[in-house]
Structure 1
Amino acid sequence: MKIWSPTIPAEGTIPKKYVMRTIGGKNLSPPLKWEGVPAEARSLVLVCVDTHPVARNWIHWVVINLPPETLELPEGASGKDLPAGARELVNSYGFSGWGGPQPPQGTGPHPYHFILYALDVERVELPERPSFAEIERYLKDHILAKASFTAYYER
């Protein structure tokens, strides 16, 4: 399985339009594409997490119960253009949906990991505002495949 963004190069810099409005962005969720989902997958989960030591696994986006036949999310899908059945959970900012990068100034480049999980269950039941540890703990026994890419943002 493979995941990528047509507008964010792997190991590259996240464009400004995807960062929080408070630092000059538009807070648009980036377009994402994937391939190679196992035929036996019953659902997908998408997570974006900042693992920088200052961020301490800050959750930027969690989308659960994506239908396994889904192959992409268009730019700006958060909050308005998700496949039927998919649901966004509350991010570390405290609201549902995509919360773009907004790292503290002077803390260097922050890594944003976009992770796609193919699961053997149709529905995922997570807390409304899960930590990354809770996500991983719940999903670990249901993962058929996992793919990720990392991009960076710095202020």
Structure 2
Amino acid sequence: MTLERPIAPDPYELLPTVPSFTLTSDDVQNGEPMDARHAHGSAGGENISPHLAWSHFPAETKSFVVTCFDPDAPTGSGFWHWVLVDVSTSVTELPRGVKEGDLGGAFSIRNDYGETGFGGAAPPPGDRPHRYVFAVHAVDVERLDVGPNASPAFVGFNLAFHTLARAVIRPTYQIKE
């Protein structure tokens, strides 16, 4: 059963415009369906984060924040699948299934599943394809002033003041009835 509701805006269209840089992936592509391995276990997937790689970010970048957001979730506020904070500028690629312990001082904020780390796609069965907005934010500070108990919204608020540039890939995912 498709839920009848308007299409939510892209979250970054509502924020001040910032420059872009290059974001690529061996696993996800703009407008293309994601493989089920990137779906949450509750949706029959493997809950594995996709490979992401980025380049051509501003020279003054001091860290990165990696996020994944579903603006199409039937919540009125979207659904945060991943918020990885304080990624060093020495890291410009995340392998498929990355664990934050492999990333030095980087840490994950609890996602909307109530878990830390990547939480895969799980749209309602039969709903239209959902967009999963994977973003890498180039940040002007080495450490965003947030702790591991911060909410994704609080991280986003802080990013609004520290984002130099942003690179985005928007794959989709749908569970057919």
Kindly report the root-mean-square deviation, in angstroms, between the aligned alpha carbons of the 2 structures. Answer: 1.5
1:4 corresponds to which letter in structure 2? T
Residue aligned with 1:117, SS? strand
User: Which of 106, 109, 114 is matched with 1:86 structurally?
Assistant: 106
- Residue of structure 1 in register with 2:173 after alignment: 153
Task: Give ranges in structure 2 of 5+ residues lacking alignment.
Answer: 1-20
Residue aligned with 2:91, SS? coil
- Residue of structure 2 in register with 1:72 after alignment: 93
Aligned 8 A contact 1:4 1:149 in 2: yes
- Residue of structure 2 in register with 1:2 after alignment: 22
- Residue of structure 2 in register with 1:37 after alignment: 57
Task: Count matched residues.
Answer: 153
Aligned 8 A contact 1:54 1:107 in 2: no
Cα offset, 1:25, TM superposition:
1.1
Q: Percent of aligned pairs with the same residue?
A: 32
Q: Which runs of 4+ in 1 moved over 4 A?
A: none
- Residue of structure 2 in register with 1:60 after alignment: 81
Aligned 8 A contact 1:103 1:153 in 2: yes
Task: Give ranges in structure 1 of 5+ residues lacking alignment.
Answer: none
Q: Which protein is richer in helix relative to its size? A: 2
1:105 aligns with 2:125: yes
Residue aligned with 1:26, SS? coil
Which structure has the bigger radius of gyration? Answer: 2
* Matches of 1:91 and 1:126, distance apart in 2: 15
1:124-148, Cα deviation, whole Å (9 max, x unpaired): 133625234x333211121111111
User: Which of 117, 126, 142 is matched with 1:122 structurally?
Assistant: 142
* Matches of 2:142 and 2:119, distance apart in 1: 26
User: Which of 46, 64, 69 is matched with 1:26 structurally?
Assistant: 46
Cα offset, 1:79, TM superposition:
4.6
Q: Which protein is richer in strand relative to its size? A: 1
1:15 corresponds to which letter in structure 2? D
